Amino acid sequence: MKVKEVLTAIGAERLFGEDRTEPKQLMTKWGEALLESKHPEPLSEYPRPQLVRDNYTILNGYWQYAFTETSGKPSVWDGEILVPFSPETVLSGVERQLMPNEYLWYARDFEIAQLNGRLLLHFGACDERCKVYVNDKEAGRHSGGYQAFSLDITEYVRTGNNRVLVCVQDRSDTSYHGRGKQCLKNGGMFYTAQSGLWQTVWYEWVPDVYIKGLRITPDYDADKVRIAVKANKNVTQVSYFAEVYDGEALVGTAECAGSGAAWEELSVQIPDKKSWSPVSPFLYDVKICMRSEGAVDKVGSYFGMRCFSVEKDRDGVPRLCLNHMPYFQNGVLDQGYYPESLMTPPSDEAMVHDIAFIKSKGFNMIRKHCKLEPMRWYYHCDRLGVLVWQDMINGGGAYNFVKTCYLPNAIVPLQKLKDNHYGYTAREDARGRREWKKECAETIAQLYNCPCICMWVLFNEGWGQFDAVANTAFVRRMDATRLIDAHSGWFDQGAGDVKSEHTYFFKLSVKRGEKPYVLSEYGGISLIVEGHTYSDAYFGYGVHADKERFLEEYAQFTAQVEQLRKEGLCAAVYTQLSDIEEEINGLVTYDRRVEKIK
């Protein structure tokens, strides 16, 4: 296929300035219910199932907000915003874009009846960087629009009324910061940029000495689980006690002593272990108690007994293995966008719906693309039984898509270019390279305890890619329990555990070699569903108005993947779960109201 044909097939010309029609506001049933509620309580469930405490308060709901041109605190507020929905969304009640030269301020009062230990203020995510003030004093700062962060605000609070302010800036796609698919001028396969608080905000009380770190590592071959714990500070002595449960039945216990801020490990044997898999997603519960200087901290968590590896089958073909058995990973690309709330799921039920939909259509894996989800999303994958490939968040300068996407699709030798030519992949700024590594490490730490995650995907189609070999080693040092797709698509540097390619314009095939071969993106065929499209401008890899023709082509893809599986294909990721704005190649419409496949 010639370069011109590739550009035409994907509608690339519309990414370079063509006028677009006014978009239509679609709505899921969950967003609709929230808008109709007189007293909305969005995402009121405990937001972090991987480390649970009882004494918490969720701060989602109405906050004051103001857009300003300077970093000074506003004297007048613009109105109310419904947190945790970004101001660009309908559900926020604001519907205004935060521009790179502006500041977005939030304010919320909360009451404290009695000081009860230390107070931690948690943010699920704030895009892209912020300062947090409590009672007019700066309590902390954070950068990174997708990673969770926490602040100890004990020294700033008092009994009675307290006030938290958050000042946000977001450069979006005008700088090197991590941004995923966000674009100030959306179109094609890039979507409306959003900003500010877009995941749950909450606080919880903890004792003076509390559990700050928790890493749960199933040791599948040794029939045990290793639980690493550390306290928030050094103390003379601290003791830990762990209990593992199968439902109500106690499976095993372990205890150890330490000095606080250093990691201490408890090891619990798991007799007659029950393995975790998509077919049988069994989860053990964990209770951990820490005692120090009269203080007691108790947290709950869970884990699944599973292991991920690359092993050869009886024909000598390298395969992706789950619990040492070849396991074909039949996946869907999922970017987690909703028409009324963009990256924020409108409800917990909405998250469950998408995961359950994927499973009901015969898939067992989701590639979470260019986004981190709320921690409850991963919990639902854990308990429902879906494997997850987690992308790191891409950043860097302005991408040249002709060079990094379209030409490599058409001219295969270009897929082998070296990724230390930083200008080619928009990674010239050393600050951006350092920031990617920081956010990569934070992502792994945040998601480490999720049994569903089996693959870290470092770079996608060269967007901000750099030093993949060194970065693979960097990730491996932090997590040796999962596999790594170092470069999904092209610009293969020989790093990682899989040979990972995207195929949209050529016949699907398998390239057998020393590593498992995976189609980390394919398909992407599009279907127009009247009344359920974002605009009259469509983007996809072959657009159909006829559903029967769409289903016929989808069935052909399914048959090809099944045949290639026999020839050595180890995983396939179909593009994609849902339509997103102009991109209409989902298996379900953007508003989740019409399923396109049977």
pLDDT in tens, 109-121: 999 999 989 999 9
C-alpha distances (whole Å) from 13 to each of 96, 458, 540, 587 are: 27, 28, 13, 25
What are the sequence ranges of the domains in the chain?
3-15+329-575, 61-199, 211-219+221-303
* pLDDT tens profile 422-440: 999 999 999 999 999 999 9
Q: Residue 560 pLDDT > 50, yes or no?
A: yes
Cβ pair 287, 297 in contact under 8 A: no
Q: Looking at per-residue confidence, does 295 or 577 come out higher?
A: 577
pLDDT of residue 407: 85
User: Residue 20 — very low, low, confident or very high, per pLDDT cuts 50/70/90?
Assistant: low
| Res 2: pLDDT | 44
Label residue 110 left, alpha or beta by phi (over 0 means left) and psi (-120 to 50 means alpha): beta
pLDDT at 4 over 50: no
pLDDT value at residue 524: 96
User: What sign results for the dihedral spanned by CA atoms 48, 136, 142, 228?
Assistant: negative
Residue 14, pLDDT > 60, answer no
The class level of CATH for 3-15+329-575 reads alpha beta
Averaged pLDDT for residues 565-573: 97
Whether pLDDT at 510 is above 90: yes
Question: Which pLDDT value is given to residue 504?
Answer: 92
Instruction: Estimate the crossing angle of helix 375-384 against helix 348-360, to 10 degrees.
Output: 40
pTM of this structure: 0.96
Distances from the Cα of 416 to the Cα of 413, 486, 492, angstroms: 6, 13, 6
Q: Taking 60 as the threshold, does the pLDDT of residue 189 lie above it?
A: yes
Which pLDDT band, with edges at 50, 70 and 90, does 13 fall under? Answer: very low
The rounded distance, in Å, linking the Cα atoms of 393 and 89 is 21
pLDDT tens digits, one per residue of 447-495 = 999 999 999 999 999 999 999 999 999 999 999 999 999 999 999 999 9
**Which of 18-22, 81-85, 400-404, 485-489 is predicted least confidently?**
18-22
Read off the pLDDT of each residue in 219-248 and give the average, rounded to a whole number.
95
CB count within 10 Å of CB 470 equals 13
Structure tokens at 22: 């006014």
Mean pLDDT of the chain: 94
d(CA 180, CA 336) in angstroms, rounded, equals 12
Domain 61-199 has CATH 2.60.120.260: yes
168-177 mean pLDDT:
97
Mean pLDDT of 173-199: 96
Q: Tell me: pLDDT of 498 over 80.
A: yes
| pLDDT one-digit tens code per residue, 383-419 | 999 999 999 999 999 999 888 888 887 787 888 889 9
The label of the residue with tokens 């967003």 reads 31
SS3 240: strand
Is the domain spanning 211-219+221-303 CATH 3.30.70.360? The answer is: no
End-to-end CA separation in angstroms for the chain: 31
User: Mean pLDDT, to the nearest integer, of 12-39?
Assistant: 79
